[in-house]
Amino acid sequence: MSDVVKGPASYFPSIEKTYGRPIADWQAMVRAGYPARHMDLVALLKAQGMGHGHANAVVAYTLAQDGLK
């Protein structure tokens, strides 16, 4: 049985392909924006050219990883 990625991380291959940067780069931007509200962090990524849905997925995943959500 293969491991199927679900949730926000399921967007990561598309994000890397679309924007040409690894997820770790985007997560570093999110973390550099701490402390901030979820939607402020989404706006930060959108200002760098990322679409809303992708930005929301990266922020949600990063906040969850860091125990902030």
Cα angle 18, 35, 6; round to 5 = 40
Which DSSP string corresponds to the chain?
-PPPP-GGGGGHHHHHHHHSS-HHHHHHHHHHT-S--HHHHHHHHHHTT--HHHHHHHHHHHHHHTT--
**End-to-end Cα separation, the chain, in angstroms:** 30
pLDDT of residue 1: 53
Give residue 45's pLDDT: 98
Output the pLDDT for position 2.
62
Q: Note the pLDDT of residue 5.
A: 81
pLDDT at position 68 is 93
Walking along the chain (69 residues) 10 residues at a time, the average pLDDT comes out as 78 95 98 97 98 96 94
Q: How far is CA 32 from the centre of its chain?
A: 13
